[in-house]
Chains A and B, each alone.
Chain A
C-alpha cells in the first residue's frame, strides 16, 4: 500500500512554523553581539547583561508580576464567588448574568481601557499602581467565572445535599465539599487571569500614570524609539516563563482532571 500524504499534518506544521518563526527569530537575535537585528553577529550574553543591569526594567518586571499575581488572586476570589452565585440563580437570571459576563469577555480591550480611564478620571483617582490593579482585576473576573462555572455545573447537585445530610453547615459544605471539588477549575481560572494580566497592553496603556508602568507598555514605548536588543533578551525570558506556565498549567489540569472524573460515572444499569 502506498503512503497517503497527510495534508492536514503538513498544513498544521506550516501554520505553527509561521506562528513561531517571529518569536524564534527574536530569540535568536537576543544572543547576537550586534546592536541591531539586521545581521547576526556571533553569540553573546551582552544583552542579557544590560537587561539585568537596567534597574528601571527590573523594577517594571517586578511591578508587572505583583500586579499579575495580586489581580489574579483577587479576581479568582471574586470570580469564584460570582460563579457560585450564578449557579444559584434560575434560568432567565442566569442567562442574563452570563451574558453580562461574556460581553466583558468579547468587548475590545481598547473600549474597556478607555472606559476605565474615564471612570478613574471622573472619580478623581490618581493613575498608577492601584488603577492598573483594579482594572486588571475587573477584566480578569469574567475569565475566572467562565473557567469555574463549568466545574460547578458538572458537580452532582446531590453533592451539597449529601454534605448537609451528613451534618455539614452551609459554610462547611462550601469549604469542605464545594471548593475542594471545583479546585481544578479555580486553579485554571487563576492561571488564565494571571496570564491575561501579565500580557495585557491595551487596558494598561490607558490607566498607567507617569510613575508606574508594566512590561508590555514599557516594551512598546522602548520599541518606538528604535529596537534595542535588550528587549529581545527580555522577550526571550518572558517567552520561556510563559512556556513554563503553560506546561505547569497542563500538568495541573491533567492531574485535576483525573480526580474530577470520579463524580459522574455511574453505570447505567437496565432499569426495571
Chain B
C-alpha cells in the first residue's frame, strides 16, 4: 500500500519491570480518522507518545512515511499533538500560542500572520488572537490547542484524550466538529480516548487496546456488531454476554435452550460466549417469547428504558426498549438469529477473520 503513513512493527515498551506494550503491530493509512480506544492504563497513550517521539519504544520499529523514525527526536517529526490538558503556553496570548511552531521554523512574519488567522478561523475563533489564555473557556482552549497543532500542517495529528476535560454537551459538539475538520483538512487523525461513544461516533477505524495489546481493530460497525472477545463486547456498548455451547453450525445452546444463529466454523459442542445487545432484545407476550422472564427494574433514560429482567432459570438480561413495561410483570423476550453474536474463547483476530470468510464468502453484512 502506498498511502500508509505510520507503521508499528513488533513495538514493545517496558517501564522498569512493567511491560506496557506487547508486540504492537499496525498500519495507519493517510487521511483517515483512527481511534485508539481502551481503559486507562491500557497503553493507548503510550502508543501516541511513541508516535510523537516523547517516549522511545523498547524494541520494534516505528515507520513514518517509509522511514524508521525511532531515533528522530520529537521536534523533528512531522506530527503534532493536542494534549489532554491542552498544554497551552501561559505567558503567550492565543495568537502567539498558535504561531509558536511557525516562529520556531522561521517562517516569514506575513505568512505566519496569515496562517494563524486561517487556523483560528478553522476552529471558529476568529478575532480571539489577542486574548490571554486565562480569558478563554475550556472549550475555547481546546480549540486553541487544535489550531496550534494544525497550523503546522502536520501529516498526522495526534489527539490525547482531547475532549475528556469538556462537559458532555460541549464534547458532543466538538466530536462533530473534529470529524468535520478532519475531512476538510484531509490529514490523518489519531485520537486516543477511553470513551467508546466518542470512538464509535468519530472514527473510520478503531483499535481496541487493553493490557498493552491490540484486542481488535476495525470499523466502528464491525467492532460493535462482531466483537472478538469478552473484553471488546463488554467495553463497547452495552451487552448481555452469556456462556453457551455451539451444537453445530448455526445452532447455539444457551442456558439449555437451542437458538438459531448466524455463526459457524466452530467445533461441534465447543464452549463459546454469546453476545446479545440489549437493544436487539424485544419484549413481547409470554407465548410469543423465546424466553419467559419477570421484570425486575425499569429505568427511564430519555431515549429509552433500561429494563432488567430474570428468566425462568434465574439468569439476568438487560433490555433497552422504547416501550415501557411494568415491574413484576411476566413478559416474553424475543430476538432474531442475527442478533446473537458468537465469540470463541482465545480466538485471535486473524483466525476470527479467516473463520468469518470461510462461511460468509464475500457478502458484507455490516448494517445495523
Contacts and interface: CB of A to CB of B under 8 A. Distances in A.
Interface of A: 156, 158-159, 161-169, 172, 176-177, 180-181, 183, 258-272
A107 B188 CA distance: 58
A165 B52 contact: yes
A159 B87 contact: yes
Given A161-B74, A259-B134, A167 B101 contact: yes
Given A161-B87, A162-B89, A165-B75, 12 more contacts: A158-B85, A161-B52, A165-B52, A165-B80, A165-B81, A167-B104, A168-B75, A259-B132, A262-B88, A263-B90, A269-B164, A272-B194
B195 A272 contact: yes
Contacts of A163: 89, 100
Contact of A166 (B86, B90, B101, B134): B101
Interface string B313-348: 000000000000000000000000000000000000
Contacts of B170: 269
Contacts of A177: 89
Interface in B64-109: 73-76, 79-81, 83-91, 100-101, 104-105
Nearest to B148: A166
B73 to A, nearest CB: 7
Interface in B140-155: 141, 148-149, 152
Contact of A164 (B73, B89, B152, B167): B73
A161 B52 CA distance: 9
Given A164-B73, A165-B75, A262-B132, A181 B87 contact: no
A161 B49 CA distance: 10
Nearest to A270: B168
B60 interface: no
A266 B54 contact: no
A172 B88 contact: no
A160 B194 CA distance: 25
Contacts of B84: 158
8 contacts: A161-B54, A162-B88, A165-B149, A167-B76, A167-B152, A172-B104, A263-B88, A271-B195
B80 A181 contact: no
B62 to A, nearest CB: 16
Q: Nearest 5 pairs between A and B by C-beta?
A: A166-B101, A162-B87, A158-B87, A267-B138, A262-B90
B171 interface: yes
Nearest to A264: B85
B286 interface: no
B83 A162 contact: yes
B85 A266 contact: yes
A176 B52 CA distance: 20
Contacts of A164: 53-54, 73-75
Interface in B343-358: none
Nearest to B53: A164
Contacts of A168: 75, 100, 104
A260 B100 CA distance: 18
B165 interface: yes
Contact of A181 (B89, B149, B164, B195): B89
A261 B101 contact: no
Most chain-B CB neighbours within 10 Å: which of A167, A168, A258, A272? Answer: A167
A263 B132 CA distance: 11
Contact of B134 (A161, A162, A165, A261): A261
A270 to B, nearest CB: 6
A268 B138 CA distance: 9
Given A259-B134, A272-B195, A161 B83 contact: yes
Contacts of A263: 88, 90
Contacts of B195: 271-272
Given A266-B165, A269-B166, A169 B89 contact: no
Contacts of B75: 164-169
B87 A262 contact: no
Contacts of B91: 180-181, 183, 259
Contacts of B52: 161, 165
A167 B105 contact: yes
A270 B79 CA distance: 29
B86 A266 contact: yes
A126 to B, nearest CB: 44
Contacts of B86: 266
Contacts of A159: 87, 89
B233 interface: no
Nearest to B138: A267
Contacts of B79: 165
B133 interface: yes
Contacts of A166: 75, 80, 100-101, 104, 148-149, 152
Contact of A161 (B76, B81, B152, B171): B81
Contacts of B105: 167
B162 to A, nearest CB: 12
Given A165-B52, A167-B75, A260-B90, A269 B152 contact: no
Given A161-B54, A164-B73, A164-B75, A267 B165 contact: yes
